[in-house]
Amino acid sequence: SPLGPTPKLVIDLERLQQLPKDKAGPLARYAATIQSQRGDYNGKVLSIRQEDLRSLAVIYDKSPTELTEELIGWGVLDPEARRAVEAF
Ligand code: C2E
Ligand code: C2E
């Protein structure tokens, strides 16, 4: 496409740690599980599967688009992530 390939969904793990637990808790647990499955504990960022954003949207009781906007607002996802979700 003219805009290039679909961008990755990249979670900012340092930002995630700064957020209140009531907001970030489910995402933080999900990210920790993926890190554990990959054996990848040292990153400042974590690329997640598009499929995982769908699962997270169910957990947060939002549409993938709404959850993406919320995570961008929290500073956990880059605004580029919008294009990844448009591709759903
Ligand atoms: P799996 O899905 O059977 O993937 C096995 C291995 O294939 C992964 O081992 C990884 O080396 C490679 N792989 C699979 N998909 C991708 C991909 O999109 N990009 C890259 N770069 N490599 C990929 P790994 O990383 O040790 O993960 C082990 C298992 O942990 C995976 O088995 C899967 O069950 C789970 N897992 C890891 N990361 C994720 C994730 O982001 N989301 C989900 N839902 N599961 C994950
Ligand atoms: P990536 O490694 O650059 O992979 C980009 C896309 O290629 C993935 O998007 C997926 O659609 C496809 N792909 C790559 N490797 C595999 C594979 O082994 N099996 C299958 N079925 N598809 C594959 P997706 O799923 O949205 O993942 C986005 C990014 O999340 C990946 O970018 C990678 O950085 C990370 N990731 C996802 N799953 C795993 C995993 O199991 N292990 C690791 N280490 N990283 C993963």
With DSSP H G I counted as helix, E B as strand and the rest as coil, what are the percentages for the chain, rounded to 5? 60, 10, 35
Instruction: Tell me, using a 6 A CB cutoff, whether residue 80 lines ligand 1.
Output: no
Q: What is the pTM (predicted TM-score) of this model?
A: 0.93
Paired tokens of 51: 């499929």
Instruction: Tell me, using a 6 A CB cutoff, whether residue 33 lines ligand 1.
Output: no
pLDDT at 4 over 90: no
Alpha carbons within 13 A on the beta-carbon side of 83: 11
Ligand nearest to the CA of 38: 1
Mean pLDDT of the chain: 94
pLDDT in tens, 51-74: 999 999 999 999 999 999 999 999
For CA atoms 75, 61, 84, 47, the dihedral sign is positive
Predicted confidence at residue 71, as pLDDT, reads 97
**Rounded distance, CA 67 to CA 44, Å?**
21
Ligand nearest to the CA of 47: 2
Determine which residue's CA is closest to atom 42 belonging to ligand 2.
38
Determine which residue's CA is closest to atom 27 belonging to ligand 2.
49
Predicted confidence at residue 27, as pLDDT, reads 97
